[in-house]
Amino acid sequence: MGHQPTKNEVIAELVKSGKDAAYFINTYARISHPLEGDIPFDMYDYQEELVGNFNEHRFNIILKARQLGISTVTAAYIAWMMIFHKEKNVLVVATKYKTAANLVKKVKSIVKNLPPMFRGVAKITADNRTSFELSNGSQIQPSSTSSDAGRSEALSLLVVDEAAHVEGLDELWKGLYPTLSTGGRCIALSTPNGVGNWFHQTFVGADEKTNKFFPTVLKWDVHPDRDQEWYEEETKNMSRRDIAQELECNFNMSGETVFHPENLEKIALAIREPKYRTGMDRNFWIWEEYQEGATYVLSADVARGDGKDFSAFHIFKVETMEIVAEYRGKPTPDLFSTILCDAGREYGNCMIVVENNSFGWSVLTKLQDESYPNLYYSYKSTHEYADPATGETSSRTIPGFTMSMKTRPQVVAKMEEFIRNGLITVYSSRLYNEMKTFVWNNGKAQSMRGFNDDLILSCAIGCWVKDLVYTVGQRDIEYKKAFMETMTCNATKINTSIPGMIGYKKISQDKEKQKYKDFSWILKG
């Protein structure tokens, strides 16, 4: 038989365990290993450091890779807190009740497998399958995000597991935070899940020391048994997004953003400060002035002028699809129409494409009143582009672009196509930031709660118009030119003046203009 500790030795050991959470966990906690079964919890250095952070800081937020045992060490810390501190009320929140209940189960398992001497301090007196209570009054329960559990009670410790994946955590936090006002603590842990959610914002705030949370980053390589060989083997069948989320703790590369994280990284490389910040609110950013001979198009999304939404527009150089200028602000619709008119004239009376929603109509009306010469028109029945000559005279057309349940996903898809294929150049940090928080929500592309997509919609309209008007339209012009060419030749000669056709010969611009002088009416628009 081994040494039987005396009463004084037991008391000394209990006191030592109560004062030092890391000692208690390393010495007495047992965990379930998937291969080795029930084993002592011999913490790694990073786990032991984390326990120290739990004690030292009231609010902790942990950005972690998967399979590092962070949930397990959190469970062990909870067990220590409940055993050695009377009447502690612990709530575990997760996106699914089962996930929260599993963490509570780990806590219960650690408590049940402690040596008998700890039963004199605290033992389980109420065991309700997913929750339990100790003889010292400490208790723990799980909760899903759909539950109101814990909101009216004072909490000693709130644990939010996989916090980045909890839908609507920002609203939930507003209800739970007051329950910590009497000195309660919080541990939020998660792999990343894109940007803009509560976990991302809170972690960034913690890193910048603008909130109460203490941040910890635990990437895959903190584990002493993992090396480059392990990483390569682990990631060979993983997508770039999964690697960023599960192993690298990369916010920007993780999450279900509409625009793929790899494409967002490419966009980020091109971001630069504008050459000018002008306009009455200095929100008109210009990277390149008007260039003679270049073609431009201005696409705009209109807001009311108050509230959270912005009015926005982009000016594209059509030939390269560079965004050479951008505006985002909250002018009234009539003032916005003046801004649009001035910007359009500055870029050679370029085509202005305005979303013809309720506020857009007033903008379009004002542009017509100011006799702006180059507005986008579309057919009422199909919303397809109509050339200006037809648009200005036909009762079948309306000015502006119609954003509807049908066209919205189409223009967003077109922008995603342009981004994915590198067909557009974005310099704007404002647009880039919106793209990072533009996500799939129940199959619909939209901004995260609390963020905006005004610049995205403006840009998406511009991409659509480029593809619809200038790509297809240019092809039509080439066909018209070919037709006119045959009219200038004898009947026995077939002209091949369309680029790509056999026999095509490039002719000078001056000769071309002279050749079609008598038929300019055909090329109108």
**303 in the same domain as 232:** no
**285 in the same domain as 138:** no
**316 in the same domain as 197:** no
**292 in the same domain as 219:** no
User: 434, 453, 470 — which closes off a domain?
Assistant: 470
- Asked if 242 and 260 touch (Cβ cutoff 8 Å), the reply is no
Please report which residue ranges of 136-214 form alpha helices under DSSP H: 169-176, 198-207
**285 in the same domain as 237:** no
**215 in the same domain as 70:** yes
| CATH code of the domain containing 422 | 3.30.420.240
Is 253 inside any structural domain? no
Please report which residue ranges of 329-424 form alpha helices under DSSP H: 333-346, 358-369, 388-391, 407-420
Q: Which domain holds residue 329?
A: 261-470
- pLDDT number for residue 226: 93
- pLDDT number for residue 252: 67
Does pTM surpass 0.85? Answer: no
Is 516 inside any structural domain? yes
**33 in the same domain as 127:** yes
**379 in the same domain as 297:** yes
pLDDT by residue for the chain (525 residues), tens only, comes to 556 778 888 899 999 999 999 999 999 999 887 677 788 999 999 999 999 999 999 999 999 999 999 999 999 999 999 999 999 999 999 988 999 999 999 999 999 999 999 988 889 999 888 899 999 999 999 998 755 555 557 999 999 999 998 888 888 898 899 999 889 999 999 999 887 789 988 998 999 899 999 999 999 999 999 999 999 999 988 887 788 888 988 876 666 788 888 888 899 999 999 999 998 889 999 999 999 999 999 999 998 766 788 999 999 999 999 999 999 999 999 999 999 999 999 999 999 999 888 788 999 999 999 999 999 998 877 767 877 777 677 778 888 898 888 888 989 999 999 999 999 999 999 999 999 888 887 678 888 877 899 999 999 999 999 988 877 545 444 444 444 455 444 443 333 333 443 333 444 445 444 544 444 443 444
Is 287 inside any structural domain? yes
User: 470, 494, 511 — which closes off a domain?
Assistant: 470
Is 133 inside any structural domain? yes
**479 in the same domain as 466:** no
**519 in the same domain as 394:** no
Is 39 inside any structural domain? yes
User: 248, 270, 292 — which closes off a domain?
Assistant: 248
Is 86 inside any structural domain? yes
Question: Going edge to edge, which strands form the sheet with 284-286?
Answer: 276-278, 284-286, 322-329, 311-317, 296-301, 351-354
Is 239 inside any structural domain? yes
Pick left, alpha or beta for residue 41 (phi over 0 → left; psi -120 to 50 → alpha; otherwise beta). Answer: beta
**513 in the same domain as 364:** no
Angle at 25 between CA 218 and CA 28, to 5 degrees: 150
Angle at 33 between CA 29 and CA 35, to 5 degrees: 150
**275 in the same domain as 158:** no
Q: What's the total number of domains in the chain?
A: 3
- pLDDT number for residue 507: 40
- pLDDT number for residue 51: 97
pLDDT tens-digit map of 175-225: 899 999 889 999 999 999 887 789 988 998 999 899 999 999 999 999 999
- pLDDT number for residue 519: 41
Is 255 inside any structural domain? no
Give the number of other CB atoms < 10 A from CB of residue 454.
Answer: 23
Give the number of other CB atoms < 10 A from CB of residue 423.
Answer: 15
| CATH code of the domain containing 92 | 3.40.50.300
SS3 track for 373-389: CCECEEECCCCCEECHH
Q: Helices 7-19 and 21-28: crossing angle, nearest 10°?
A: 120
Cα–Cα distance list, 59 to 46, 86, 321, 365 (Å): 18, 20, 47, 55
- pLDDT number for residue 186: 97
CA atoms of 525 and 522, how far apart (whole Å) = 9
Residues ≥6 apart with Cβ < 8 Å to 106: 31, 71, 72, 75
pLDDT tens-digit map of 325-383: 999 999 999 999 999 999 999 999 999 999 888 788 999 999 999 999 999 998 877 76
